[in-house]
């Protein structure tokens, strides 16, 4: 299995994992249910539906996989997942006007994966098109793509150095992020009023740059120190984040403006009134 990625249907984010061995996508069931039902509690909806399907002797439930995915609280948790085929069977049990459009979307997702494995540039172009449709500027898109490339090089190093589990990747990322920004990933998302949204997709130009600086520094330090395994990569994560933090504090001192802010790209109706982050006021914010 690969680490969790996100797919976009309309404005919903759906967690998924691709099994390279079986050549199959596995989707988070509750995310699919949220799309089809627009339920305020997709977890409760799924529990009741699962019970009903079991009583009916529906075989689809037996094909459910429990996979580690990033939850809303920022932790890696076991999540019920179905393959594309089983998701299609599940849709038959949920009356929804979005059923047919979602079926077409599932077919497209599978086809795009095959295309992107043959030509990775297609994935980059697809991301660029998505951000353009969401109203991002060319400058922002360039920063986002540069940051993603920096991120990929870091995670590639972690993989070859012995970091294996998704929760280890998440923990190292959190160390870097908290060190440079004074907020962990969850705290930064809370500041911006985000729930399931990708934090980097809602960062400002400056936040993207400092995140990239922290991750670039971490990789260079890890390579220089030949860090191995999860524990061995913790010190470089702290040092790399510290380099970006020192740069952030220096810039904030010169401009009098915080780099980390509550600014986001949420639709107006979803924006929340949250306290502005003022440089070193993290401790009071987190209380």
Q: Distance (Å, rounded) from C-alpha 158 to C-alpha 17?
A: 19
Query: Do residues 230 and 170 both lie within one domain?
Result: yes
Percent above pLDDT 70 for the chain: 83
| Domain of residue 269, residue span | 124-286
Query: Do residues 280 and 139 both lie within one domain?
Result: yes
| pLDDT tens per residue across span 152-207 | 899 989 989 999 887 898 999 999 999 999 999 999 999 999 887 889 989 999 99
Q: How confident is the model at residue 277 (pLDDT cuts 50, 70, 90)?
A: very low
Quote the tokens at residue 227: 């860090």
| pLDDT tens per residue across span 247-273 | 999 999 999 999 999 999 887 545 444
CB 164 within 8 A of CB 76: no
Neighbours of 224 (CB within 10 A): 9
Q: Is 78 helix (H, G, I), strand (E, B) or coil?
A: strand
| pLDDT tens per residue across span 130-148 | 777 778 888 999 899 889 8
Query: Do residues 166 and 92 both lie within one domain?
Result: no
Cα dihedral sign, 26-132-207-203: negative
Total count of domains within the chain: 2
Phi (first) and psi of residue 15, to 5 degrees: -70, 140
Query: Do residues 141 and 187 both lie within one domain?
Result: yes
Chain centroid to Cα 212, Å, comes to 16
Across 48-62, 219-233, 240-254, 271-285, least confident range: 271-285
Q: 24: left (phi > 0), else alpha (psi -120 to 50), else beta?
A: beta
Query: Do residues 275 and 144 both lie within one domain?
Result: yes
CA max distance for the chain = 67
Query: Do residues 129 and 113 both lie within one domain?
Result: no
Query: Do residues 94 and 152 both lie within one domain?
Result: no
Query: Do residues 244 and 144 both lie within one domain?
Result: yes
CB 52 within 8 A of CB 118: no
Q: How many residues does the chain have?
A: 287
Q: Distance (Å, rounded) from C-alpha 127 to C-alpha 121?
A: 10
Q: Distance (Å, rounded) from C-alpha 38 to C-alpha 273?
A: 24
0.75 cut: is pTM over it?
A: no
């Amino acid at each position: 299995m690969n680490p969790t990625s996100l797919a976009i249907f309309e404005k919903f984010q759906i967690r998924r994992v691709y099994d390279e061995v079986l050549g199959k996508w596995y989707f988070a069931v509750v995310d699919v249910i949220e799309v089809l039902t627009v339920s305020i509690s997709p977890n409760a909806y799924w529990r009741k539906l699962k019970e009903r399907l079991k009583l009916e002797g529906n075989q689809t439930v037996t094909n459910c996989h429990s996979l580690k995915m990033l939850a809303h609280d920022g932790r890696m948790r076991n999540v019920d997942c179905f393959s594309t085929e089983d998701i299609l069977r599940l849709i038959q049990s949920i009356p929804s006007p979005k059923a047919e459009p979602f079926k077409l979307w599932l077919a497209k997702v599978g086809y795009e994966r095959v295309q992107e494995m043959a030509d990775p540039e297609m994935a980059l172009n697809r991301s660029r098109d998505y951000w353009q449709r969401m109203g991002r500027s060319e400058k922002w898109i360039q920063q986002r793509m540069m940051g993603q490339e920096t991120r990929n090089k870091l995670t590639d190093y972690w993989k070859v150095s012995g970091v294996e589990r998704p929760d280890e990747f998440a923990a190292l990322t959190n160390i870097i992020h908290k060190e440079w920004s004074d907020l962990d990933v969850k705290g930064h998302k809370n500041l911006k009023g985000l729930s399931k949204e990708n934090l980097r997709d809602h960062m400002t130009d400056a936040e993207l740059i400092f995140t990239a600086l922290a991750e670039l520094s971490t990789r260079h330090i890890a390579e220089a120190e030949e860090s191995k395994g999860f524990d061995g990569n913790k010190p470089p994560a702290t040092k790399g984040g510290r380099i970006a933090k020192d740069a952030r504090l220096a810039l904030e001192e010169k401009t009098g403006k915080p780099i980390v802010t509550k600014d986001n790209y949420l639709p107006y109706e979803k924006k929340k009134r949250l306290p502005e982050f003022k440089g070193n006021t993290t401790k009071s914010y987190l209380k």
